[in-house]
Amino acid sequence: MRVLITGARGQLGTDLMRHCTAAGDDVLAFDRAGLDIESRSAVLSAVTTLAPEVVVNCASWTAVDACEGDPQRAHSANGLAVRWLAEACARTDAHLVQISTDYVFDGTLHGAYSEWDATHPRSVYGWSKLAGEREAAVLGTNAAVVRTSWVSGEHGNNMVKTIMRLANERTQLQFVDDQVGHPTFTADLAAVLRRIALDRLSGVVHATNQGVVSWYEFAMEVVSAMGKDTAMVQPIATAELQPQRPAHRPANSVLDNAVLRAAGYAPLRDFREPLREVVQNLLS
């Protein structure tokens, strides 16, 4: 498979690039310096010249709070850029796999969100990612929108690394216990993204590791994997956070992987397994 990956130096792009390369794919990997997806001419030139069978867009502006202060940049990076990718894919009959997020929901649902639940973002970041979903959907069966949540891995900046750093610097940590979700690890997500690309699966798809926890419970799992006393982690309510963060966080980010299940895909592992692997690799 000839696959073009954007955002190839990010935490997900790095693992996807490595996974596809190990599988024998012809990988065309670009960071922002190599391909600015906000440039229509650059995108059209790259995709039409290189003629990939699949384009996986891992590029995104994920600074959730910064997006609140710069909506124009957020919509350009996360929304309009996907239009240019979709246009290029339409010209070359390439399949687009667009990565999206739990932030397209408002987090008020009781129970897991399915792929058919109504979207209702409450942040600029969420709206910009929903705009990207809509741009990808123009391709119809030539696009898959893959929503995921709480992403971490060995590469880039993420919550696992933040928790590990804080646990080594402090004697007490506080994390919210009223926001819940499915932590997802890039190595596992990369494998399912490649299969989605190979199968040319289309439409909206939820892909996460299994296991529902709060951020407080997640922090305890990280601390435990480090071999430290979990008593150092204390619960706190979102309303008690000081200072308050600009962007709204969904209280419920649990995504039901209903489409993958119906398509015969095995569930991704419980998040605790890849979490322990990542922590041990980071400690070694």
| CATH number of domain containing 16 | 3.40.50.720
Helices (H) and strands (E) in the chain, counts: 11, 13
CB atoms within 10 A of CB 2: 13
- Judged against a pLDDT cut of 80, whether residue 94 lies above it is answered with yes
In a domain, 135, yes or no: yes
The count of structural domains within the chain is: 1
262: domain range?
Answer: 2-157+182-209+253-269
Q: For residue range 205-253, what is the model confidence (pLDDT) as tens digits?
A: 999 999 999 999 999 999 999 999 999 999 999 999 878 899 999 999 9
In a domain, 6, yes or no: yes
In terms of phi and psi (left: phi > 0; alpha: psi -120 to 50; beta: otherwise), the region of 223 is: alpha
In a domain, 32, yes or no: yes
pLDDT at site 215: 98
Mean pLDDT, rounded, for 171-194? 98
In a domain, 226, yes or no: no
In a domain, 163, yes or no: no
In a domain, 28, yes or no: yes
Catalytic (active-site) positions: 125
In a domain, 235, yes or no: no
pLDDT at site 228: 98
- pTM for this model (two decimals): 0.97
- Judged against a pLDDT cut of 90, whether residue 24 lies above it is answered with yes
Provide the mean pLDDT of the chain: 97
Closest to 181 (Cα-Cα) out of 101, 74, 64, 261: 101
In a domain, 274, yes or no: no
Q: For residue range 35-79, what is the model confidence (pLDDT) as tens digits?
A: 999 999 999 999 999 999 999 999 999 999 999 999 999 999 999
